[in-house]
Amino acid sequence: MEETVKLKKAKKTRVIPGFKLTMGITVTMLSLIVLIPLASVMVYSLKLPPSEFIKLITKQNVVYAFTTSIVCSFIAAVINVIFGVILAWTLVKYDFPGKRILDGFIELPFALPTAVAGITLSKMYSDTGILGKPLAAIGIKVSYTHLGIIVALIFIGIPFVVRNVQPVLEKLDGQYEEAAYILGASPSKTFFKVILPELRPAILTGFGLAFARGIGEYGSVIYISGNSAKEHTQVVSYVIMQKLSYIDYASATAIALVMLVISFLLLFAINVIQMKQAKRTNNI
């Protein structure tokens, strides 16, 4: 008992110098650059009377924008989970020529500026574009539709899933697979019953990150979406920007507050998943 108390005390005294200095710098910079500006948005939007606030965020085009952003991001994130797991699996389990290049390309959406990605995708999938033309010929319009938004969100979201699943798959012990096979499970059963549960936290994290990024995405979406109020192809970020350029700060901050709440909830969920995962791996 005494021993543990002593140990605890020993832990409390900090041997390494620089705690106060680095702590001070970190907290000051974090407050000045991130927290205070964000607080300004919250303070301003909470100053609105509640009835006004509700009125602003339940305007029809705002509701449509939220629906579009959330539904499109969700669909894109689901598609990214499917392809992301396949890509991670291929990159970890198989050897083939050009694998390193394939691996390198995964990160392209992180490195490419969003505006550049946006104009490029918009051009590629327009009726005269390299992919849009053949698709238009069989009756599928991509640019300036919801499909276009989903395509752009798949583009920016894919690295999140691949890069979260890949390391877990690399560490995954082959024993379970072998055991399942020897016990008579079919390969697909092995995958769905043995491997997939192991990957679930990583997949959920990747899904959450891609989903969160998709809801707030601006640059890569606004060119391909067409931003038509009539066809409900405006995303939330676009509506905020539109309100800003009309100097309608009340609406802009009200919408922004709702979006902040959504992203904080998602961030919180992701953190909980990651903490659970850390606990689980530590227990083993």
Partner 1 sequence: MADDKNRMGKVMNEQEKFEKRKKITKYVLITISVLFVFFMLVMPLFCIVSSSLKQGLGFYFKSVSSKYVVSALKVTLFATVIAVVINTFFGLCAAWVTTKFSFKGKQVLATLIDIPFSISPVIVGLAFLMTFGRLGWFYPVIRWFNSVFGANVRIAFAIPGVVLATIFVTFPFVSREIIPVLNAQGKDEEEAAALMGAGGFKIFFKITFPQIKWALIYGIILCTSRALGEFGAVNALSKTRGETFTLPLEIDALYMSGTENSITAAFAASSILVIIAVVVLVLRNILEYRAKKKGQEQAAS
Residues 244-273 contacting partner 1, CB under 8 A: 244, 249, 252-253, 256, 259-260, 263-264, 266-267, 271
Q: How far is the CB of 176 from partner 1 (least distance, A)?
A: 16
Q: Which stretch of DSSP H or E encloses residue 137?
A: helix 132-137
Q: Which of 56, 87, 202, 204 binds partner 1 (CB under 8 A)?
A: 87
Q: How far is the CB of 284 from partner 1 (least distance, A)?
A: 18
176 binds partner 1 (CB under 8 A): no
| 122 contacts: CB under 8 Å, gap ≥ 6 | 143, 148, 223, 224
157 binds partner 1 (CB under 8 A): no
Of 53-61, 104-112, 194-202, 224-232, which segment contacts partner 1 by CB under 8 A?
A: 104-112
Q: Which residues within the stretch 5-44 sit at the binding site for partner 1 (CB under 8 A)?
A: 11, 14-19, 21-23, 25-27, 29-30, 33-38, 40-41, 43-44
What is the rounded CA–CA span in Å between residue 111 and residue 163?
14
Which of 17, 49 has the CB closer to partner 1? Answer: 17
Q: How far is the CB of 100 from partner 1 (least distance, A)?
A: 7
Which of 72, 252 has the CB closer to partner 1? Answer: 252
Show the tokens assigned to 82.
């499917």
154 binds partner 1 (CB under 8 A): yes
Query: What number of chain residues touch partner 1 (CB under 8 A)?
Result: 90
Q: Which of 57, 83, 185, 226 binds partner 1 (CB under 8 A)?
A: 83
Which of 147, 259 has the CB closer to partner 1? Answer: 259
Q: Give the position of tokens 């033309």.
A: 133
Q: Which of 204, 217, 233, 234 binds partner 1 (CB under 8 A)?
A: 217
Which of 145, 270 has the CB closer to partner 1? Answer: 270
What is the rounded CA–CA span in Å between residue 140 and residue 89?
31
| 272 contacts: CB under 8 Å, gap ≥ 6 | none
Phi, psi of 31 (to 5 degrees): -65, -50
Q: How far is the CB of 200 from partner 1 (least distance, A)?
A: 20
Instruction: Decide: 77 and 204 in contact? Cβ < 8 Å.
Output: no
140 binds partner 1 (CB under 8 A): no
Which of 35, 63 has the CB closer to partner 1? Answer: 35
Q: Which residues within the stretch 51-80 sit at the binding site for partner 1 (CB under 8 A)?
A: none
111 binds partner 1 (CB under 8 A): yes
**Long-range contacts of residues 94-101, Cβ cutoff 8 Å, at least 24 apart:** none
Distances (CA, A) of 14 to 3, 8, 11, 22: 19, 12, 7, 13
Distances (CA, A) of 88 to 15, 147, 167: 42, 25, 9
> Considering all CA atoms of the chain, what is the largest pairwise distance in Å, rounded to the nearest integer?
80
Q: Give the position of tokens 């574009």.
A: 129
Q: Is 121 helix (H, G, I), strand (E, B) or coil?
A: helix
